[in-house]
Amino acid sequence: MEDLLQIKRRHVMRRLDHIREVETGFRSGDPFAALPHEPRPQYDTDTTTMTQRRLAKVEELRRAAAEDPERAKELELHRVSLRTLVRWDMGRRRFGPVGLADDRWLREATGHRVTPAVREALYAVREETLHRAKISAKARERLIHQYVREVFGPEECERIPGYDTLRTIWQEWFGSTGARARYARSAAAAQKNTTGRHVVVHRPGQVVALDTTVLPVKVLENVFGDPVSVHLTMALDVYTHSIVAFRLSLVSDASIDVAMVLRDVMMPLPMRPDWGKDMEWAYPGIPTTVVADFAGHEVAGLPFLAPETVTTDHGAVYRNHHLVEVQRVIKANIKPSRVLRPTDKQAVERAFGGIQSLLFAILPGYQGVDTADRGVDPEADACLTVAEMEHLIATWIVKVWQNRRFDSYAPSWDPGGDHSPNSLFAAAMAQGGFSLRIPSAELYYQLLPTHRVMIHGKRGVKIKNVRR
């Protein structure tokens, strides 16, 4: 966006307003910041489809262009069609707001100029040499010439720059070639997901780390009472180190489990019958009765927030179409951690280790961290059911974890202070306030995965190749 002129930036933001209205029915994209007349009937998402809203927007812009052609041309909105809206929407999803800008608005690139054929050859040779032994710059030059000659023909070889220019371009695009081959491969794998900037987390909800591990304690299955292993999925707010949500699942976690964990992050935790007054909501600034009125029940002393960025690993459960739809519904960015960069998710990994040493290690049925350190029969020692284990973990999080003193995770503005996850959340509320937004009950159904249904007159309903 910085490459655009100021007037072009305004044009981009005006286009973004139209795209948001088509997608959500609101110019701001947020129903909580709706204008008095929003949503207009032709853009109401409850009664119209995306195509109908796009056609309504095309008709609106054409009508405005007919009434004031000069104004519409000045705003670059005088020739908008259905395909234009689709192209703008795809560009916004790929590149952000700058994807709505016209290519002619961007400044011309500076530096070395190469033909598309040479550029393709450079990237092709780069991918090939990453899997081969280390070679010299002269050998890479020969591979570039060979690629251009075989793919684009001998006449294209005349437009290949000289050796010195190719070596300079290689260093500018891919960095120095002094690294060992194995380390160059790992650095290239990490570079695919890098941002080039160091992210400083300075408020709750800015980054929520999400991860799943096998619970190191054997529990009893609720139906037959057999000892089983369950999976623990946990969400940790990176700024306050609060465990804002968790979930136990008998089988390996699925996308629906991750979606429900993200919903729990945004919902206040209800008080349970055996919890005392010391575990109620006790953060300054918002009385307990106010939060209870909004939630419809008594609320425990555990932060709830709308996550902005959710950091995950590269498991298949976090990379599917359902999670993409969940990301759109909750308006959060679900981003995988960088390859070979453990610092992106170290907070939740340390939290798993802390819970294991503080709680799991003293429970009957604990399996240890290695098969050689395992007890004689941890299955026979199991005495807690899945429901009892869930209740125990929830009680321990609210009563112990949220009030335990930080050691190495003290905030930068008070490294020697006595802080806990609850005190950090209270300090953040005092500094920036707290937005008391509790999602509606409809969010549960919006996060459920959708499946195509085929109805047969004689055989019944077919869902996911299974007849019901």
DSSP secondary structure string for all residues of 16-69:
HHHHHHHHHSSSSS-GGG--TTPSPGGG-TTT--HHHHHHHHHHHHHHHHHH-H
Q: What is the pLDDT along the chain (468 residues), one digit of tens a residue?
A: 877 888 888 888 989 999 999 999 998 888 888 888 888 999 999 899 999 999 999 999 888 888 888 888 877 787 888 998 999 898 888 888 888 888 778 766 556 678 889 999 999 998 888 888 888 889 999 999 999 999 998 888 888 988 888 988 888 888 777 777 777 777 777 666 565 566 678 889 889 999 999 999 999 988 888 899 999 999 999 999 999 999 999 887 788 888 999 999 999 999 999 999 889 988 887 888 888 888 888 999 999 999 999 988 888 888 888 888 888 888 888 888 866 566 778 888 888 988 999 999 999 989 887 777 777 888 888 899 999 999 999 999 999 999 988 877 777 777 777 889 999 998 888 888 887 788 888 888 888 888 777 787 777 888 777 776
Q: Exposed/middle/buried for 277, CB within 10 Å: 0-12, 13-18, 19+?
A: exposed
For 450, the token pair is 């959708």
Distance CA 391, CA 385 (A): 10
DSSP 111: S
pLDDT of residue 171: 86
**Burial annotation 322-343 (CB, 10 A radius, 16+ → b, else e):** bbebbbeebebebbbbbbeeee
pLDDT of residue 198: 63
For 302, the token pair is 């555990």
User: Any residues with CB less than 8 A from the CB of 71 and at least 6 apart, and which?
Assistant: 64
User: Any residues with CB less than 8 A from the CB of 145 and at least 6 apart, and which?
Assistant: 157, 160
Peptide bond preceding 307: is omega within 30 degrees of 0, i.e. cis? no
Q: Are 349 and 211 in contact (CB under 8 A)?
A: yes
Distance CA 188, CA 21 (A): 40
pLDDT of residue 342: 66
**For the chain, the helix, strand and coil percentages under 3-state DSSP, each to the nearest 5:** 50, 10, 40
Q: Are 365 and 381 in contact (CB under 8 A)?
A: yes
3-state SS class at 405 = coil
Distance CA 326, CA 449 (A): 9
Helix 137-152 with 116-130: angle, nearest 10 deg: 130
Helix ranges restricted to H, 49-152: 50-67, 69-74, 82-95, 116-130, 137-152
pLDDT of residue 108: 63
Three-class secondary structure assignment of 182-198:
HHHHHHHHHHCCCCCCC
pLDDT of residue 334: 87
pLDDT of residue 248: 92
Q: Are 161 and 114 in contact (CB under 8 A)?
A: yes
In this structure, are strands 231-237 and 242-249 parallel, antiparallel, or unpaired? antiparallel
Torsion over CA of 295, 297, 303 and 306, rounded to 10 degrees?
A: -20
pLDDT of residue 36: 87
- Measure CA 370 to chain center: 32
Site of tokens 């707010």: 237
For 103, the token pair is 């290519």
For 234, the token pair is 């946990």
Q: Across-strand partners of 211?
A: 234
pLDDT of residue 191: 66
Distance CA 360, CA 352 (A): 10
pLDDT of residue 192: 66
Distance CA 204, CA 213 (A): 24
